[in-house]
A and B are shown apart, each in its own frame.
Chain A
Amino acid sequence: MEQTVKKVFVGNYSELPERLGKTVILQDKEIAIFKLASGDVRAIENRCPHRGGVLAEGMVSGEHVFCPLHDWKINITDGLVQAPDEGCVQTFEVVKEEEQVFVLVPNEVTQS
């Protein structure tokens, strides 16, 4: 099956707060954008696989975010929930062009 990808502008790089998350609303989905201490930007689905916690408000440590509701630890780069808990969240590719930051979203997400 062919999948098309949509490039969504999410903000200017310098305006993303460091070591914090930012919520991006995309129709009925939310994406959490994180600017890590390293300066890299990551994007994941803004929904904890446990009970739907908003991950954008979690505490960011290195490549991980701690869910604000029950402290699950989730890798922001590959989306995997860390042991002892299990599960994963969807990750999205981030593209930086000069100052502008975009997220690449597969079309199924935007259509649903």
Chain B
Amino acid sequence: MEKKKLVLIGNGMAGIRTIEEILKLLPEQFDITVFGKEPYPNYNRIQLSKVLQGDTEISDITLNEWEWYEENNVRLYPGETVTKIDKDNQIVFTDKGKETSYDYLIIATGSNPFMLPLPGADKEGVTAFRDIEDCEKMIHASKNYKRAAVIGGGLLGLEAARGLLNLGMEVDVIHLSDFLMERQLDQPAGKLLQKELESQGMNFLLEKQTAEILGKKRVTGLRFNDGGKIPADLVVMAVGIKPNIQLAQETGLEINRGIVVNDHMETSIPNIYAVGECAEHNGMVYGLVAPLYEQGQALAKHICGMNHQGYKGSVLSTQLKVSGVNVFSTGLINETDQTKSIKVFDEWRNTYKKILVQDDKLAGAVLFGDTKEGTKLLSLIKKGAKVEDYLESSQAQDDDESIVVSMSDDEVICGCNGVTKGTIVNAIKTQGLSSVEEVKGCTNASRSCGTCKSLVSDLLTHTLGDEYEANEKESICACTDLSRDEVIAEIKEKHLTHSREVMNVLGWKTEEGCSKCRPALNYYLGMVYPKEHEDERESRFVNERLHANIQKDGTYSVVPRMYGGVTNADDLRTIADVADKYKVGMIKLTGGQRIDLLGVKKEDLPLVWKDLGMPSGYAYGKTLRTVKTCVGAEFCRFGTQDSTGMGIKLEKKFEGLNTPHKVKMGVSACPRNCAEGGIKDVGVIGLDGVWEVYVGGNGGTDLRKADLFAKVKTEEEVLEYTAAFLQYYRENARYLERTSHFVERVGLEPIQEMVFNDEMRQELCQRMDEALSVYREPWNEVIESETTLRDLYEKVNAK
């Protein structure tokens, strides 16, 4: 069958996200061509502000490397603009004379910065702030010139101004209104923001309208309507954006502010779709990536022929962060004849709060400095709460106490999904939930816009007490203030699939993370997106990267699989021959019922594996290690069940599974428990007609006796309950938390409750199967890949 031809115009954030979604759904189905005006692979436009501020480099903000296009067979024409669409014959034409026909066409041309049509706007030294080229222009100018003028005191303008300050320039910000960010803030908040930014070195010219850009060839200054002038040798225009619709217009698509699309992102002409900032859905044109990504997902499903309700619009939160200043606003911002306001202005702490009341109800809010109350206000405003409710609740509250304490049980916490306080508290208590993620999973609270997350967290604190506080506040490492749960929530919400993306988007304090967060993020990404996430070998600890245990002298040890501790004469002979051939330092029986070959040179590892011809025993990984077994019913006079058979089945099923920490198992055939299931992550004991499954045992640093988890009848059920338990552990434990610590922390009951619920268990097992489906035997993979052999195992002999 010939592949359908898919053409994308615009190699930007929304368009490429759509392609990623399509590749995920139907990897081989389409012949994909992408035209991008800019000469780069897809990059993270949001990070341009950080590049300008010197926090990161252009080379670091690439989202899809050139290799990504190659590996996915996506034909990319960078630096090539589509100039015409022939909708009748379904062909696009480019500025380089190319003609390409399509079955499906996606327009994702983004926005253009709005350039004020001033006299002199075409002079050298006048720029917008939209792409890499603009960014480079500014950085370059800062090396040769001193004075910058930014026209526009909105979010983008202020970010540009902050960047130019960092680049050592003197910066004037020219703004039409009498205060900053007037679309998101009221005057007092705008003024506070101004004061804060002035203290950082910005200079503001408010209520100024630029009349002309002065200079001969290059800009030398600005003249205003009131006749005043300032000198400037760089002018940045940041007065807004407008959807880039020219091409669509010329093609005859229906246009309003943007390209009009329906819930499936279909335009008015068959087989042409639009996505991103250039599209208008239900009267809305969005300028933030989260809704654009949702659109991309809907479009991918549609093109792949998946049943889908389509895109239904997005709820935006207007929480803004400008240069470390906290600003929040929602709903009504400015007073009218019908509104009354409550204002608190704390000049000492430099915080401001305004709440607008209309018909006795909360109608809007602006916060500056301290934005903690933001979510609570949003929730009250969404549900149309009476002002008395708000006042009572804040009166009843000490300064540090959360609003949730004074809320009644029927009050809504999550406005999007209509989840009440009572429902959440009940779920926390009966299901033993201990994290925002779990609450989200059980009740849907915070699943949509996510702004109520801090309320949910407060409810957990309130319900569980200090125990939760201690658990929750722990950040992953010094590179971030975010906790494991927060990071995973963001990964899911923003659909982040690479740890570099996580670090960029979530504002990591270090450029590339550290030895703590890197492996953790790699694990979390793989756990959330087992099929999509590509394992990042550079974020793996050496043992897991090289698939052997490093020794103190830089040699390695090799432990082949020996399922259930059972071996045979041939395998033993092979092991003995290999040990001779490569002169291994020591052959040792491990505590896990198998054989260790110690002191192998790195460059010999692939040869050793090849000669062994056995799968890796993963004695080095955060994964299933060993399943110890006892001899069992087959030979032992006390044995009641086939423990070796059961152990082998467990080991074969779960080998190679990525887990937060290593997982060990033991299967015995009677209560004498010779395989030591009482100190294993999963211990199984066979009795007459019954299997007992124990979990959370540990024989290492912190000895812990395992808890009896379940009693089941069949081997299949042992596999099923073990799978569900392990999946629950995978999804809820912190990276490097053994099951013993995990069970100790969350308690046994909540886990049992999930796993004993038939539906939940099925779902856990299903997700487990998905995670297991990506396993590939690592030693064999290495042997067969020339590049891996070269990159990881070869040493260079220099002369």
Whether both chains belong to one complex is answered with yes
* Partner of B798 from A8, A53, A60 at Cβ < 8 Å: A8
Give the contacts of B498-551 with A (CB-CB under 8 A): 510-515, 518-519, 537-539, 541-542, 545-546, 550
**Minimal beta-carbon separation of A92 from chain B (angstroms):** 11
**B60 close to chain A: CB less than 8 A:** yes
CB distance from A62 to the nearest CB of B (A): 4
Given A17-B791, A38-B59, are A61 and B550 also a contact pair (CB < 8 Å)?
no
> A5 near B: Cβ within 8 Å?
no
Within 8 A of A (CB), among B540-568: 541-542, 545-546, 550, 552-554
Q: Which chain B residues numbered 762 to 799 have a C-beta less than 8 Å away from chain A? A: 790-792, 794-799
Alpha-carbon distance A103/B790, docked complex (angstroms): 19
A11 contacts chain B at the CB level, 8 A cutoff: yes
Q: Give chain B residues whose Cβ lies under 8 Å from the Cβ of A15.
A: 790
A contacts with B, residue count (CB < 8 A): 35
B796 touches A54 (CB 8 A): no
Q: Which residue on chain B has the smallest CB distance to residue A26?
A: B798
Q: Are A57 and B546 in contact (CB under 8 A)?
A: yes
Are A10 and B512 also in contact (CB < 8 A) when A38-B59, A59-B538, A69-B550 are? no
Determine whether the beta carbon of A71 is less than 8 Å from that of B515. yes
Given known pairs A25-B797, A61-B510, the reply for A51 and B792 (CB within 8 Å) is no
User: By the criterion CB–CB under 8 Å, are B541 and A24 in contact?
Assistant: no
B392 within 8 A of A: no
Q: What's the Cα separation between A80 and B550 when bound, in Å? A: 24
In the bound complex, residues from chain A placing their C-beta under 8 Å from that of B794 are: 22
Contact status A60-B796, CB under 8 Å = no
Decide: A66 near B60, CB < 8 A? Known: A18-B538, A25-B795: no
Q: Is the CB of A8 within 8 A of B511?
A: no
Enumerate chain A residues within 8 angstroms of B59, measured Cβ to Cβ. Answer: 37-39
- B799–A8 contact, CB under 8 A? yes
Partner of B552 from the list A18, A31, A37, A51 (CB cut-off 8 Å) is A51
Residues 1-50 of A contacting B (Cβ, < 8 Å): 8-11, 15, 17-20, 22-26, 31, 33, 37-39
B538 touching A60, Cβ below 8 Å: yes
A59 in contact with B541 (CB, 8 Å): yes
Counting CB contacts under 8 A, is B634 at the interface? Answer: no
Nearest opposing residue in chain B for A37, CB measure: B512
A30 to B597, CA, bound (A): 25
A20 and B792 in contact, given A62-B510, A66-B515 (Cβ under 8 angstroms)? yes
**B796, A66: Cβ atoms closer than 8 Å:** no
In the complex, what distance in Å separates the CA atom of A31 from the CA atom of B794?
Answer: 13
CB < 8 Å neighbour of A24 from B510, B538, B554, B796:
B796
List of B residues within 8 angstroms of A20 by Cβ: 537-538, 791-792
The answer to whether A79 has its CB under 8 Å from any CB of chain B is no
Chain A neighbourhood of B545, CB < 8 A: 57
Q: Which residues of A contact B512 (CB under 8 A)?
A: 19, 37, 60-62
Question: Are B539 and A54 in contact, CB atoms less than 8 angstroms apart?
Answer: no
**Which residue among B57, B795, B798 has the maximum number of chain A CB atoms within 10 Å of its CB?**
B798
- Closest residue on chain A to residue B556 by CB atoms: A57
Task: Establish whether residues A38 and B514, one from each chain, have CB atoms under 8 Å apart when the complex forms.
Answer: no
In the assembled complex, the Cα of A77 lies from the Cα of B573 at a distance in Å of: 48
Determine how close the nearest CB of chain B comes to the CB of A90; give it in whole angstroms: 16
A103 to chain B, nearest CB (A): 8
Q: Report the separation of the CA atoms of residues A98 and B541 in the bound assembly, to the nearest whole angstrom.
A: 32
Which of B60, B550, B798 sits near A25, CB closer than 8 Å?
B798
Q: Hey, which chain A residues are within 8 Å of B791, CB to CB?
A: 17, 20, 22
Rounded to whole angstroms, the CA-CA distance of A51 and B513 in the bound complex is: 24
> What's the Cα separation between A1 and B795 when bound, in Å?
33
Residues in chain A near residue B542, CB distance under 8 A: 57-59, 68
Contact B554–A54 (Cβ < 8 Å):
yes
Nearest CB in chain A to that of B555: its residue? A54
Binding site for B on A (CB under 8 A): 8-11, 15, 17-20, 22-26, 31, 33, 37-39, 51-54, 57-62, 66, 68-69, 71, 73, 103
25 pairs across A/B with beta carbons < 8 Å?
A15-B790, A17-B792, A20-B792, A24-B795, A25-B795, A38-B57, A38-B60, A51-B552, A52-B552, A52-B553, A54-B554, A57-B546, A58-B542, A59-B515, A59-B518, A59-B541, A61-B510, A61-B511, A61-B513, A62-B510, A62-B512, A69-B550, A71-B515, A73-B515, A103-B798
Chain B contacts to A: CB under 8 angstroms:
57, 59-60, 510-515, 518-519, 537-539, 541-542, 545-546, 550, 552-554, 602, 790-792, 794-799
Nearest first, the 4 closest Cβ-Cβ pairs linking A and B are A17-B791, A66-B515, A19-B538, A54-B554
Taking A20-B537, A62-B511, A71-B515 as known contacts, 13 extra A-B pairs with beta carbons closer than 8 A to each other, sorted by chain A number, are A8-B799, A17-B792, A22-B791, A22-B794, A25-B795, A25-B798, A26-B798, A51-B552, A52-B552, A52-B553, A57-B546, A57-B554, A73-B514
